Structure 1
Amino acid sequence: MKIVVIGAGGVGGYFGGKLAKAGFDVTFLARGAHLEAMKVNGLTVKSLQGDFHVDQVQATDSISGIGQADLIILGVKAWQIKEIAKDLKPILHADTLVLPLQNGVLAIDELKEYIPGHNILGGLCRIISKIDAPGVINHFGVVPTIVFGETDKSRSERTQQVKTIFDKAGIESQLSDDIYADLWKKFTSICISGLLAVSRTTYGELRELKETRQLMVELLREIHQLSQKVGIDIQPDFPDKVVAFIDTLPYDSTASLTRDVLQGKPSEIEYQNGTVVRLGEIYGVDTPVNRFIYSSILPMEIKARKVKV
């Protein structure tokens, strides 16, 4: 199976690295100094579960030169999906599977604007990781896991084949019977990232202060209420489970959106709290905490995109 990993950052670099280390035919789409370092020195992954190195890495900055792929894993930022989707057709064949691992709940629909729906799986991942230096990925929190499934909730032979590949590569994975529910569950938890940025806290600092902990709880409840209006099957106690999960995260850890905002980089705010605000308006759900977070970060986001994009 020919696998293409688009985006070789904390997500694509880790999971693609595991697949390449296991001997699968993997090509990375990357850019800049990170790409050049992988070509020259290979890919190094520092991980809580054990460091490893891939000596020979297939990597390019041109989609057109990759050739047709059997499995395409999208590890780019959520706001890059539309741009990437336009360029995928040349590397698709009739049975190519496209697996998006983006934050948020919009990737599937955005991909469908440009490529056939039967080529698309729903997916998400759980990992705290980043590029430490060109050619070096650092996984420093959470057991890396991919959750994926058919968008029509069916179990299929092709998803089982993908799971077998992940198993052989030592990647923890789960087949989902309701990928939209799983996407919304992750979406709910990651929207705390914006609160971390506004309050300039780590997960540990956020959860231990009564005032910021209360904001976190209210944020989660707003999104759960919205999910029910949208028609997503999530249990009433899910916000409490998210809080319990946040209580287990490393004290000094943050989220990728948080780091992007604080470093003046373009972020996924439109695909996190911004999406909550817009869907809240559509479905008639008040989202005051999420609106405050989105509105507070928006000026920084506009400035970052004028400078960086």
Structure 2
Amino acid sequence: MKFLVMGAGALGTAFGGMLADAGRDVTLIGRERHIKPIREHGLRISGIWGEHVIKNIRATSELNANYEPDVILLTTKSFDTENAIRELQPLITDDSVVISLQNGIGNEEIIARYVGEEHAMGGTVITGFEILHPGEVEVTVSAATTKIGEFNNENTPRLRKIVAIFNEAGIPSDAVDNIRMHVWAKALYSAALNPLSAIFRVNYGKLSNPHSFAIIKALIHEAFKVAEAEKVELFWERAEEYLDYLRHEQIPQTEKHRSSMLNDIERGKKTEIDFLNGVFVDLGKKHNIPTPVNETIVRVIKFLESPK
């Protein structure tokens, strides 16, 4: 299988690098500042996935119409999904598939709208990645295996093959037949921790503090009411069940993680808040459900990301 990583930042570069290190044909598409050192000197991966120096990887900032990937890993920011999939459309063949490994809710639906449900898969990654220097990525923390699933929830041979390739490459992964549930579960985790980490400028572990966790409890209760109105099936029947899992399982496993949203704000970049807490706000308005805590968090993040 030939892999193309579209939007090769920290996560995409780590996934592509591990696949290339395992002998797979991989092309990274990313920003020239990060891609040029990889092209000239190779890619370095460090951290919990081991130490790797990868030379046999194609790295470029230009998408070439001659590429013929079997699997496209979409790792752009969620607000870039639509533009990215438009660029990728000419590369889609009868047998190719696009897998979203992005944050937030709605990316898989955008992919399916442009290339068809049969070419769309979803994925969730609760693993931390950081670009230490251009061309060097550290895998920092992990709270779960990567989950991959078909848009239509079928357990297909190609899904099992892709997941097997991921595992052989040292990327712990599972094939699932309920990817929407996993996407919403990841969104709950991200919406609870990512923006508050950015607002308070702390790692995730600090958010167990009673004052910050009270805010988390309120926003998660709003999200559960919205999910119920939207008829979204979740792994937890009640908000308190998820909050217990978040406090005692997810936060301890990723306590040292630094929010990607905080990194974006510090670099003057747009955040993904509209695809996280912003989704809960929009769905709340759709169903006449108040979401004041999520709405306040969205407003604070938008203030922080606005030009000073």
Q: Could you tell me the TM-score, scaled by structure 2's length?
A: 0.93
Q: Secondary structure at the residue paired with 2:26? A: strand
Separation (CA, whole Å) in 1 of partners of 2:296 and 2:189:
17
Q: Amino acid of the residue matched to residue 271 of structure 1?
A: F
Q: Amino acid of the residue matched to residue 96 of structure 2?
A: T
Shift of 1:65: 4.1
Cα 1:89–1:104 change in 2 (3 A) is: same
Corresponding residue number in structure 2 for 1:258: 262
Shift of 1:34: 1.0
| Contact 1:189-1:220 at 8 Å conserved across structures | no
Shift of 1:64: 2.5
Which of 245-254 and 216-225 deviates more? 245-254
Q: Amino acid of the residue matched to residue 194 of structure 1?
A: P
**Residue 284 of structure 1, aligned match among 277, 283, 288:** 288
For structure 1, the residue ranges without an aligned partner over 5 or more in a row are: 305-309
Corresponding residue number in structure 1 for 2:198: 197
Which of 150-159 and 198-207 deviates more? 198-207
Shift of 1:251: 4.0
For structure 2, the residue ranges without an aligned partner over 5 or more in a row are: none
Corresponding residue number in structure 1 for 2:302: 298
Q: Amino acid of the residue matched to residue 294 of structure 2?
A: N
Corresponding residue number in structure 2 for 1:96: 96
| Contact 1:126-1:145 at 8 Å conserved across structures | yes
Corresponding residue number in structure 1 for 2:116: 116
Separation (CA, whole Å) in 1 of partners of 2:127 and 2:254:
12
Corresponding residue number in structure 1 for 2:246: 242
Shift of 1:283: 2.0
Q: Secondary structure at the residue paired with 1:298? A: helix
Number of equivalent positions: 303
Which of 37-46 and 165-174 deviates more? 165-174
Q: Amino acid of the residue matched to residue 41 of structure 1?
A: H
Corresponding residue number in structure 2 for 1:70: 70
Shift of 1:51: 1.3
Shift of 1:143: 5.5
Shift of 1:185: 0.4
Which of 276-285 and 22-31 deviates more? 276-285
Shift of 1:145: 3.1
Shift of 1:288: 1.4
Separation (CA, whole Å) in 1 of partners of 2:205 and 2:42:
35
Separation (CA, whole Å) in 1 of partners of 2:254 and 2:113:
38
Q: Percent identity?
A: 27
| Contact 1:9-1:137 at 8 Å conserved across structures | no
Q: Secondary structure at the residue paired with 1:303? A: coil
Corresponding residue number in structure 1 for 2:27: 27
Shift of 1:240: 2.2
Corresponding residue number in structure 2 for 1:307: none
Cα 1:144–1:130 change in 2 (3 A) is: farther
1:6 aligns with 2:10: no
Q: Secondary structure at the residue paired with 1:44? A: strand
Q: Could you tell me the TM-score, scaled by structure 1's length?
A: 0.92
Q: Deviations over 1:120-173 (max 9, x none)?
A: 012121211121111001111116732111122221111111112112212111
Q: Amino acid of the residue matched to residue 123 of structure 1?
A: G
Shift of 1:241: 1.2
Shift of 1:175: 1.2
Following superposition of structure 1 onto structure 2, how do residues 182-193 of structure 1 map, counting pairs within 5 Å?
182-192=182-192, 193=194
Q: Secondary structure at the residue paired with 2:56? A: coil
Shift of 1:4: 0.6
Q: Amino acid of the residue matched to residue 91 of structure 1?
A: L
Q: Secondary structure at the residue paired with 2:73? A: strand
Q: Amino acid of the residue matched to residue 93 of structure 1?
A: T
Corresponding residue number in structure 1 for 2:127: 127
Shift of 1:45: 0.6
| Contact 2:143-2:253 at 8 Å conserved across structures | no
